[in-house]
Structure 1
Amino acid sequence: MTFDGTEAMRILAIGAHPDDIEAGCGGALVKYAQNGHRVFLMVMTEGEQGGAGELRKFEQEQAAKQLRVERIYWGGYQDTAIPMGRELIQSIEAVVKEVDPHFIFVHYHDDTHQDHRHLAMAAISATRYTKNVLFYEGPTTQNFAPTVFVDIDQVLNEKIASIEAHASQVRKTNIEALSIVDVIRSSAHFRGIQGRVKNAEGFLPLRLFINIGA
């Protein structure tokens, strides 16, 4: 049950690497958790191309605590080598079946990183029976024009804390003098301006149901 006595929803966020989910939809996840909803993550790799896999897995677990995540499902794939095809779809389907989520958040399919791209395309098939599926953006996303916004101004610090939990990655932006925290703050301001609030996350829906009435 949530704080207002309604049934708690189950939220599943899917990402290719540790820190993808925090960057893309961490604010929305914090807001769901604060309102008593159940949050689950599926992380497909340990991100070993960006550092020691054990360290990055530990950092993801620490970040999940910031987001109040109930459980992390690990995909077990190699970083930069997430394959397109039946196996990947079935891997996602198994977690979707177990969690039975009301909402799913996942990478957008127009992305310069092959892991993000392959995961997004597989998720389109694997989530075909889930009512609400939203694509999030990351630093390597292309041509992303969100039409759904979540006001994250009140939880921006919590989102930043979840990003900072990935301490080994914070400076790895390939942008001189900018950390990932700087990038996330800038993105939150930009999407906030688009959504007519101070700070926001933007999403593109694959499907989104608006419930009217009981």
Structure 2
Amino acid sequence: MAKKTEPMRILALGAHPDDIEVGCGGTLIKYAETGHRIFLMVMTEGGQGGLPDMRKREQAQAAKILRAEKVFWGGYQDTEVPMGRDLIQTVEEIVKKIEPHFIFVHYHDDTHQDHRHLAMSTITATRYTKNVLFYEGPTTQNFAPTVFVDIEQALDRKIQSLEAHASQVRKTNIEGLSIADVVRSSAQFRGIQGRVKNAEGFLPLRLFINIGL
């Protein structure tokens, strides 16, 4: 008889509402569908991109689509996520509370300072976490993923989670393209690299491959 495994705890970190959905929403959906526990931490309420209360409501709706148990808020101002000890301790507190098996976060080479600062601080804050992977977003640079997750069956729900952020759907700074268009294009591109139809790509800080029971 096969040994029943306990659900894993998955923690995804993002600087702003909708960052997590863009970067690893499909992967989180697949984890949730197989019985694992999803937690989100969003560092700001995205006040530079819309009304904070509205963006928090949108994030709560998106979290339901991802089947996340809880959204933690960092309490920082949009564009002012600090680099250093304060942010490290903020992330450490949630890591200690959740004790995640996997952590997903922005990649550190990014033109947005909030993304960059969160990524760098998370490297320190997660030094005792076995599996830490970086995801990409529209402002990520020099990202060459080596880990891929097939999200073909989760892509439509990933798009739904992004559309829950209704105030942001058209804010891509690319004429004629919505965030759904951008995400579908990225999924196809990473899928080609991973030899599937649609995928999300990741760069691991650490990744353990477990063999046996």
Number of positions where the alignment pairs a residue of Structure 1 with one of Structure 2? 211
Deviations 1:141-164 (A, max 9, x none): 000000000000001001000000
Letter of the 1:76 partner, please give it.
Answer: G
Task: Name the structure 2 match of 1:31.
Answer: 30
Structure 1 residue 16 displacement after superposition: 0.1
Query: What TM-score do you get using the length of structure 1 for normalisation?
Result: 0.98
1:59-98 residue pairs with structure 2 within 5 A?
59-98=58-97
Mapped partners of 2:69, 2:156: distance in 1 = 20
Task: Name the structure 1 match of 2:101.
Answer: 102
1:129 and 2:128 aligned: yes
Mapped partners of 1:59, 1:5: distance in 2 = 36
Mapped partners of 2:108, 2:134: distance in 1 = 8
> Secondary structure, in 3 states, of the residue corresponding to 1:206?
strand
Identical pairs, percent: 78
Mapped partners of 2:156, 2:118: distance in 1 = 28
Query: What TM-score do you get using the length of structure 2 for normalisation?
Result: 0.98
Structure 1 residue 6 displacement after superposition: 1.7
Deviations 1:87-143 (A, max 9, x none): 000000000000000000000000000000000000000000000000000000000
> Secondary structure, in 3 states, of the residue corresponding to 2:48?
helix
Task: Name the structure 2 match of 1:41.
Answer: 40
Mapped partners of 2:4, 2:107: distance in 1 = 34
Mapped partners of 1:199, 1:59: distance in 2 = 25
Task: Name the structure 1 match of 2:172.
Answer: 173
Task: Name the structure 1 match of 2:163.
Answer: 164
Letter of the 2:68 partner, please give it.
Answer: V
CA RMSD of aligned residues (A): 0.7
Deviations 1:27-84 (A, max 9, x none): 0000000000000000000000000000000000000000000001000000000011
Task: Name the structure 1 match of 2:210.
Answer: 211
Structure 1 residue 5 displacement after superposition: 3.4
Letter of the 2:79 partner, please give it.
Answer: T
Mapped partners of 1:175, 1:101: distance in 2 = 36
Mapped partners of 1:85, 1:22: distance in 2 = 25
> Secondary structure, in 3 states, of the residue corresponding to 2:16?
coil
Mapped partners of 2:209, 2:170: distance in 1 = 39
> Secondary structure, in 3 states, of the residue corresponding to 2:132?
strand
Letter of the 1:33 partner, please give it.
Answer: A
Q: Which runs of 5+ in 1 are unaligned?
A: none
Letter of the 1:98 partner, please give it.
Answer: K
> Secondary structure, in 3 states, of the residue corresponding to 1:14?
strand
